[in-house]
Chains A and B, each alone.
Chain A
Amino acid sequence: MNDAIVEIVMLVTFVLMALWAVLATKLLRAVVALAATSVLVTLLLFKLDSPLAAVFELSVCAGLVSAIFLGTITLTQPENEAEVAESAKERIRRYWYLPPLLLLLGVALLQVALPDVPTAAAAGDDVRKVLWTSRHLDLLGQITVLVAGAFGVIVLFKEARKNER
């Protein structure tokens, strides 16, 4: 019973944090909310018996990605107060229907399509073993994604700053 309450609280907080991340008018707050969302996902993954996935989520999403976002924010100019208020209004006017739509979809999915929601990840091979024995091509793809990302940073940001100097 207690476990169920904790899980519900975590899920509700997770949704609230995710909403805050996309609705926040200041980038800094959005990043904090996103990091908090990642931390909650990490906790949920731990509870679902997926410690490795949880560690990846914590280190990459909550750690690395937040650090990159914070780095970017320090390099950008904030909007003034009036612009912030205007864009907040504009955003609500444009996307007011998204939260109820998402809720509706979630309920529909649970009622119609998912009669047996699993409470924990299926016990299987060690993740490291799975990654190398049956998903090694994807690892190669991930390596290429990282290389491409590094190129992106060099080509679009590093050289741009060099030109500005």
Chain B
Amino acid sequence: MLTFFVLVPLLVLLLLNISWRALPRIVPQAAVLVLGFADVVFGLALPSLPVNSEIPVLSELHFGLVADDLTRVFLVSIGLVICAAAFVNQESMTTERSHRNFCSLLLVSLIGMNGAVLLSDFFSLYVFLEVTAIASFILIAIERGIFAVEGAFRYLLLSAVAAMFMLTGVGLLVFTIGDTTFSAVHESLNVATGTPLLLKMAVGIFIVGLFIKGGLVPFHGWLPGAYSSAPPGVSILLAGIVTKVSGIYALVRIAQDVLVSDPSLSMILLVAGSASIVVGAIAAIGQSDLKRMLAYSSISQVGYIVLALGAGTELGIVAATFHLFNHAIFKSLLFVDSASVESRIGTTDMGKMGGIGAKMPWTGTTTGIAMLSAAGIPPFSGFWSKLLIVLALWKAGREGFAVLAVVASVLTLGYFMVMQHRAFFGKPSAQLDSVKEASAGYVVPAVVFALITVLTGVFFPLLKDSPLSFLLLNKGLSW
């Protein structure tokens, strides 16, 4: 059954491109939306689905995929963000051909991300992350603007370096234990006779590759350029989910299944997470372009996720996963809103937006919700995940890092308030007289994401005992 997440999109991709010209614009769009929605539905319903098919031919093709609560969180996030990107793309892509190409590449990205979150092997993870990365390079440069090509090239170069690290790690794993599955590496690391240095090195080198892919400080150089120069639909995809699946998912997986409560991993994650939080937040304050500011904010928010993992406890992993889901939602929402504004005034320069909230009330309101959630203000979802992060760090005896997380949250509120003030509040200038609210293709995903942010926050106390408890990895934790 799980194979369908990889095989069906691949089949649809091939079918769409066999009969290229005859298809009306709506067909590839609908295909992406249906497959994205299928991810959400299956993610919600997975425990009741058979993992391996009973049908003879298909049972041969189960490929050893696995799905646990972490996978479900990612499947739901991937589905939601893919749908939002497809909605926005429908509005923003100017030509038929680029729209079709975009849909096809969105499917390639979906295959890569679905594969990556469903498998349990370092080498397969590397292969599927490369699938996602290749789709991303092309998507960033799809309109061939000079800055977009430059952004894609930077991403390509750093991604190649990351791939080299990951492949070296995989090579060393094969060399030392002859197996690349998560369980085999975990078992070998826990052998009582002492862990071979080379095995630890292998996992460490793989993690460096993940840091680059995840855009963590000091490997964040590629991220602002790629996010800000990409077409609107691609920015949503990259910021909302691709970077998380490419870098952070595997880190969570390693912390949960491979290097469980490893003190050296904890310290590396704490330092990298803190550096990302602080550098991302400080850099975000000085930005005048909305998309660049959101890109730096992403570095900072991903830092929170990594910091939570650094706690090295179950609560830390729950907090990281929950913040990851929340961030996927509110950051996608912010990029949808920036696309809305760009569609109306043709720029994302905050200096030229002054007071646009009055002209675009839906966009202004949903941006406000996302901003408050990102800053960790109650009752929005971001408040709860940040609270869990601080609690996890405090309980793990990392009080200093917990204080840093709180202080950096004030910084986050600061740069988002500056953004709201410059871009959305106040009296609109005369140049914005003719500006109207963005079209439904932008407003619908924005409202859906805003609702998820509000509802997840308001009903968080009930989440533990609801069918959505997988968002907290179904851990019977008390906090």
Q: Which residues of A sit under 8 angstroms from B141, Cβ to Cβ?
A: 156
B128–A141 touching, CB < 8 Å:
yes
What does the 1/0 interface line of B193-223 toward A look like (CB < 8 Å)?
A: 0001110010000000000000000000000
A114–B198 touching, CB < 8 Å:
yes
Q: How far is the CB of A16 from chain B (nearest CB, A)?
A: 21
* A145 in contact with B101 given A137-B65, A152-B137 (CB within 8 Å): no
Q: Which residues of B sit under 8 angstroms from A144, Cβ to Cβ?
A: 10, 108, 111-112, 115, 131
Q: Give A42 to B123 CA distance when docked, in angstroms.
A: 22
Q: How far is the CB of A107 from chain B (nearest CB, A)?
A: 15
Q: How far is the CB of A72 from chain B (nearest CB, A)?
A: 14
A142 within 8 A of B: yes
Q: Give A145 to B130 CA distance when docked, in angstroms.
A: 7
Most buried by A among B64, B131, B178: B131
What does the 1/0 interface line of B140-154 toward A look like (CB < 8 Å)?
A: 011010000000000
The contact size tier of chain A is 20 to 34
B197–A137 touching, CB < 8 Å:
no
B131–A145 touching, CB < 8 Å:
yes
Question: Which residues of chain A in 101-122 are interfacial with respect to chain B, using CB atoms and an 8 Å cutoff?
Answer: 112-114, 122
The contact size tier of chain B is 35 or more
* A155 in contact with B63 given A112-B197, A114-B198, A141-B127 (CB within 8 Å): no
B97 — nearest CB in chain A belongs to which residue?
Answer: A159
Q: Which residues of A sit under 8 angstroms from B14, Cβ to Cβ?
A: 147
Q: Give A155 to B7 CA distance when docked, in angstroms.
A: 23
Question: Which residues of chain A in 146-164 are interfacial with respect to chain B, using CB atoms and an 8 Å cutoff?
Answer: 147-149, 151-152, 154-156, 159-160
* A147 in contact with B13 given A136-B63, A141-B128, A155-B101 (CB within 8 Å): yes
Q: How far is the CB of A129 from chain B (nearest CB, A)?
A: 15
A143 within 8 A of B: yes
* A138 in contact with B127 given A113-B197, A143-B10, A148-B108 (CB within 8 Å): yes
B417 within 8 A of A: no
A68 within 8 A of B: no
B131–A148 touching, CB < 8 Å:
yes
Which 9 interchain pairs have the tightest Cβ spacing? Answer: A141-B127, A137-B63, A148-B134, A113-B198, A152-B138, A148-B108, A144-B131, A138-B127, A155-B101
Residues of B within 8 A of A (CB): 6-7, 10, 13-14, 61, 63-65, 97, 101, 104-105, 108, 111-112, 115, 119, 121, 123-124, 127-128, 130-131, 134-135, 137-138, 141-142, 144, 178, 196-198, 201
